[in-house]
Chains A and B, each alone.
Chain A
Amino acid sequence: MTFLNYLINGISLGSVYAIIALGYTMVYGIAKMLNFAHGDVIMVGAYISFIITSKMGLPAIVSVLAAVVVCTLLGIFIERLAYKPLRNATSLAVLITAIGVSYFLQNSALLIWGSDPKSFNSIVDFDSIKLFDGQLVITAEAIVTVCACIIIMIALTIFTGHTKMGKAMRAVSEDKGAAQLMGINVNSTISMTFAIGSALAAIAGVLLCSAYPTLLPTTGSMPGIKAFTAAVFGGIGSIPGAMIGGILLGVIEVFASAYISDKLSNAIVFGVLIIVLLVKPTGLLGRKINEKV
Chain B
Amino acid sequence: MKKWKALSPQTRSDFITYGIVIAAFIVLRLLSAFGMLSNSLTGLLVPLCAYIIMAVSLNLTVGVLGELSLGHAGFMSVGAFSGVIACAGMESFIPNPIIRLLIAVVIGGVLAGITGFLIGIPVLRLRGDYLAIVTLAFGEIIKNIINCLYIGIDGAGLHISLVSSAELGLNSGRVVINGPVGAVGVQKISTFTFSFVLVMITLIVVLNIMRSRTGRAIMAVRDNRIAAESVGISITKYKMIAFITSAVLAGAAGVLFAMNYTSLSSSKFDFNQSILILVFVVLGGLGNIRGSIIATVILYLLPEILRPIQDYRMLIYSIVLIIVMLTTNSEKAKLYIGKIKARLTKKNAKGGEQGE
A1 on the B face (CB < 8 A):
no
B145 on the A face (CB < 8 A):
yes
- How long is the Cα–Cα vector from A89 to B325 in the complex, in angstroms? 10
- Are B329 and A90 closer than 8 Å at their CB atoms? yes
- Are A103 and B314 closer than 8 Å at their CB atoms? yes
- Are A104 and B318 closer than 8 Å at their CB atoms? yes
Residues of A246-293 whose CB lies within 8 A of B: 261, 263-264, 266-267, 270-271, 273-274, 277-278, 281-283, 291, 293
- How long is the Cα–Cα vector from A85 to B226 in the complex, in angstroms? 32
Name the contact of B148 in the complex, choosing from A91, A236, A261, A270 (C-beta under 8 A).
A261
- Are B321 and A278 closer than 8 Å at their CB atoms? no
CB distance from A256 to the nearest CB of B (A): 11
Q: Residues of A contacting B330 with CB < 8 Å? A: 85-86, 89
Category for how many chain A residues contact B: 35 or more
- Are B317 and A103 closer than 8 Å at their CB atoms? yes
- Does more than half of chain A's interface fall in helix, strand or loop, or is it mixed? helix
A225 on the B face (CB < 8 A):
yes
B261 on the A face (CB < 8 A):
no
Residues of B277-335 whose CB lies within 8 A of A: 278-279, 282-283, 286, 311-312, 314-315, 317-319, 321-322, 325-326, 328-333
- How long is the Cα–Cα vector from A249 to B332 in the complex, in angstroms? 41
- How long is the Cα–Cα vector from A226 to B133 in the complex, in angstroms? 10
CB distance from A226 to the nearest CB of B (A): 10
A147 on the B face (CB < 8 A):
no
A214 on the B face (CB < 8 A):
no
- Are B133 and A93 closer than 8 Å at their CB atoms? no
- Are B141 and A271 closer than 8 Å at their CB atoms? yes
- Are B325 and A100 closer than 8 Å at their CB atoms? yes
The residue of chain A having its C-beta at the shortest distance from the C-beta of B127 within the complex is A281
The residue of chain A having its C-beta at the shortest distance from the C-beta of B136 within the complex is A225
CB distance from A219 to the nearest CB of B (A): 15
- Name B's A-contacting residues (CB within 8 A): 62, 68, 122, 125-127, 129-130, 132-134, 136-138, 140-141, 144-145, 147-148, 180, 226, 271, 275, 278-279, 282-283, 286, 311-312, 314-315, 317-319, 321-322, 325-326, 328-333
- Are B144 and A263 closer than 8 Å at their CB atoms? yes
CB distance from A35 to the nearest CB of B (A): 12
Q: Residues of A contacting B282 with CB < 8 Å? A: 92-93, 96
A72 on the B face (CB < 8 A):
no
- How long is the Cα–Cα vector from A91 to B62 in the complex, in angstroms? 12
- Are A281 and B318 closer than 8 Å at their CB atoms? no
Report A99-122 CB contacts with B as 1/0, cut-off 8 Å: 111111011101100000000000
Report A147-185 CB contacts with B as 1/0, cut-off 8 Å: 000000000000000000000000000000000000000
- Are B331 and A264 closer than 8 Å at their CB atoms? no
Name the contact of A101 in the complex, choosing from B134, B315, B322, B332 (C-beta under 8 A).
B322
- Are A232 and B279 closer than 8 Å at their CB atoms? no
- How long is the Cα–Cα vector from A107 to B272 in the complex, in angstroms? 14
- How long is the Cα–Cα vector from A82 to B226 in the complex, in angstroms? 34
Q: Residues of B contacting A82 with CB < 8 Å? A: 322, 326
Q: Residues of B contacting A187 with CB < 8 Å? A: none
The residue of chain A having its C-beta at the shortest distance from the C-beta of B179 within the complex is A263
- Are A97 and B322 closer than 8 Å at their CB atoms? yes
- Are B333 and A273 closer than 8 Å at their CB atoms? no
- How long is the Cα–Cα vector from A264 to B163 in the complex, in angstroms? 11
- Are B332 and A85 closer than 8 Å at their CB atoms? yes
A11 on the B face (CB < 8 A):
no
Assuming A103-B317, A104-B315, A291-B226, is B144 touching A267 (CB within 8 A)?
A: yes
Q: Residues of B contacting A267 with CB < 8 Å? A: 140-141, 144-145
